[in-house]
Amino acid sequence: LDFVNQGIKGEWSVDPIKPPDEKGFGAYTGIIFVPDLLERTPPYIEAVVPGSPAAKAGLRPDDLLIYFDGEPVYSLKAYKGLLARYSPGEKVQIEIRRGEKVTALTLELAPQPKK
């Protein structure tokens, strides 16, 4: 989890984000992250929308998202780039740090909710 500590300190120098393909941008997780105030804001979960894919996967406030389908997530920007590669209905493996424990979960992406 070295990259997480480096990301928090703003020292991570590799940007693993690949350009999204045309299928992304519609996937919904129900994760509400802490405000994106820093250049490399760590992907800490502030809240989880009840009934959302994130809630069904077991995510909780204060979880730190560290891997998204095997890719390191060192910032909110990295998370958004990774999510853009996926479409509703796809399942992704995520790994979170909850306290001192790392846990793997499956997250099934959903379509954006109707407003």
């407003």: which residue's tokens?
115
Of 113, 33, 38, 14, which Cα lies nearest the Cα of 80?
33
């560290």: which residue's tokens?
66
Q: Please, are residues 114 and 58 in contact by the beta-carbon 8 Å criterion?
A: no
Give residue-wise pLDDT tens across range 71-94: 999 888 889 889 999 999 999 999
pLDDT at 100: 93
pLDDT at 4: 62
* DSSP assigned state of 58: T
Give residue-wise pLDDT tens across range 38-47: 778 889 999 9
The tally of CA atoms less than 13 A away on the side-chain side of residue 27 is 26
Q: Full-prediction pTM beyond 0.85?
A: no
**Tens digit of pLDDT at every position of the chain (115 positions):** 565 666 666 665 444 444 444 444 579 999 999 888 877 888 999 999 999 999 999 999 999 999 999 999 988 888 988 999 999 999 999 999 999 999 999 999 999 887 6
